[in-house]
Amino acid sequence: MKGIRQLAEQLDISIGTVSRALNGKPDVNDETRRRVLAAAEELGYVANQSGRSLRQGETKVIGLMIESSAEAVENADNFFLGVISGLQSVFARHKLDLIMLPCPSDEDPHEYLKRMVARRIVDAMIISNTQRIDRRIDLLSRAKIPFVAVGRSVSASNSPWIDLDFEGVADRAVERLIARGHRRIAITAPSSEVNLGYVFLDSYRRALERHDIAFDPSLVIRVRSSEQGGYQAAHELLLLEERPTAVILIYELMAIGLYRRLMESGVIPGRDLAVIGFRDAPRAQFLQPSLSCFRMSLYDLGAALGRMLLANMPAYREVYPDEACNIIWPLELTPGESDAFQVGAMV
């Protein structure tokens, strides 16, 4: 089976009618449509996307840009795989396909995106790993490519994004720890310029201020967002002169490395040091003592991202009229044993 021409010849009918029948246009005789669909099915005909795209000016493909950096490789987690299912659940309704665009580690993300966009491989983009200043946002805005970002950015003046509620997490973690008598509360922060680090730290500082606890820069531990980073964080924490009684983590896998390093030193989470993790990850679920952390549905996040994106695409706008342009995605606290003690209660 080659193209629509062969299919039309076989049916002894014009290619226009075949096209209309296949695309569900109303002005086609029922019997004709039946024959066309049957023949297409039998011969395995599917319209060549390049032909369609060229004619229609759209590809029916949505791109999700990811980065395959060495760090990402070492530190793969299920975040995007989980989100993808949610995205696809929305896109499937409109016969849109999702593809992932992995930016090579030796290529500038901005240049990569520029190339992909200019080639018109996709109609719209989802970008992630948003930086505090992210030129990709300007690029997409200027090129008028619909997009949505996972993560806020200073660059995103008017553009759509969904971000996890880092403020809420930091805030509730600090409040919870203070209520249990903690005053020296350490926090981890990413070593990169990724925007969420700023948001997280700001909220932590404000929460401390509310309780008249002075901000101590030595309690901000900058490490890579990875299991190894968690190990490193515990290591630095143990070296501090006046050791904190609690630590708040910013990335889901940190807890695993942190636990390991603590255990090596005989420091037991939930007894000697309170630990509050970030998102619950499948791999962290077996930690002993169980980790107090925050929970969310990756699938729901993906679905929300999908709807928000479609609400920003002219062709689908009217189907999603009430979508917000920006969402702070809430996380729910799951209490565990890792912070289940009161400071000073051991008298």
Partner DNA sequence: CTGAAAGCGCTTACAG
Which chain residues interact with a copy of itself by CB under 8 A? 44-51, 53-54, 59, 61, 68, 72-78, 81-82, 84-85, 88-89, 92, 97-102, 104-105, 114-116, 118-121, 227-228, 231, 256-257, 260, 282-283, 286, 288, 298
Nearer to a copy of itself, 73 or 133 (CB): 73
Query: How near is the Cβ of 239 to a copy of itself at its closest, in Å?
Result: 19
- Contact partner at residue 282 from DNA, a copy of itself, none, CB < 5 to 8 Å by partner kind: a copy of itself
One-letter-per-residue 3-state SS of the chain: CCCHHHHHHHHCCCHHHHHHHHCCCCCCCHHHHHHHHHHHHHHCCCCCHHHHHHHHCCCCEEEEEEECCHHHHHCCCCHHHHHHHHHHHHHHHHCCEEEEEEECCCCCHHHHHHHHHHCCCCCEEEECCCECCCHHHHHHHHCCCCEEEECCCCCCCCCCEEEECHHHHHHHHHHHHHHCCCCCEEEEEECCCEHHHHHHHHHHHHHHHHCCCCCCHHHEEEECCCHHHHHHHHHHHHHCCCCCCEEECCCCCHHHHHHHHHHHCCCCECCCEEEEEEECCHHHCCCCCCCEEEECCHHHHHHHHHHHHHHCCCCCHHHCCCCCCEEEECCEEECCCCCCCCCCCCC
Q: Is 206 exposed, middle or buried (0-12, 13-18, 19+ CB in 10 A)?
A: middle
Q: How far is the CB of 91 from DNA (least distance, A)?
A: 18
Question: Which one of a copy of itself, DNA, none is in contact with 81 (Cβ closer than 5 to 8 A by kind)?
Answer: a copy of itself
Q: Which does 179 bind (CB under 5 to 8 A by kind): DNA, a copy of itself, none?
A: none
Nearer to DNA by C-beta: 199 or 313? 313
The answer to whether 28 and 18 are in contact (CB under 8 A) is no
19 binds, among a copy of itself, DNA, none (CB under 5 to 8 A by kind): DNA
Q: Choose between 48 and 342: whose C-beta lies nearer to a copy of itself.
A: 48
Supply the Cα-derived Rg of the chain in whole angstroms.
25
Kindly tell me which of 176 and 307 has the beta carbon lying closer to a copy of itself. Answer: 307
Nearer to DNA, 3 or 344 (CB): 3
Residues of this chain that interact with DNA (CB under 7 A) are 2-5, 13-17, 19-20, 22-23, 25-30, 32, 45, 47-48, 50-52, 54-57
In this complex, which beta carbon is closest to a copy of itself, that of residue 66 or of residue 325? 66
Min CB(141)–DNA separation in Å = 21
Whose CA is closest to 5, among 13, 54, 35, 38? 13
| Residue number with CB closer to a copy of itself (82 or 181) | 82
From a copy of itself, DNA, none, interface partner of 74 (C-beta below 5 to 8 A by class): a copy of itself
**Closest distance to a copy of itself from the beta carbon of 57 (Å):** 9
Distance linking the first and last C-alpha atoms of the chain: 82
**CB-nearer residue toward a copy of itself: 88 or 153:** 88
- Taking CB within 5 to 8 Å according to partner kind, which of DNA, a copy of itself, none is near residue 20? DNA
CB of 66 to a copy of itself, least distance (A): 8
Instruction: Give the amino acid at 256.
Output: I
Pull the structure tokens for residue 316: 């689908």
Q: How far is the CB of 311 from a copy of itself (least distance, A)?
A: 21
CB of 55 to a copy of itself, least distance (A): 9
CB of 315 to DNA, least distance (A): 10
> Quick one: 15 or 340, whose CB is closer to DNA?
15
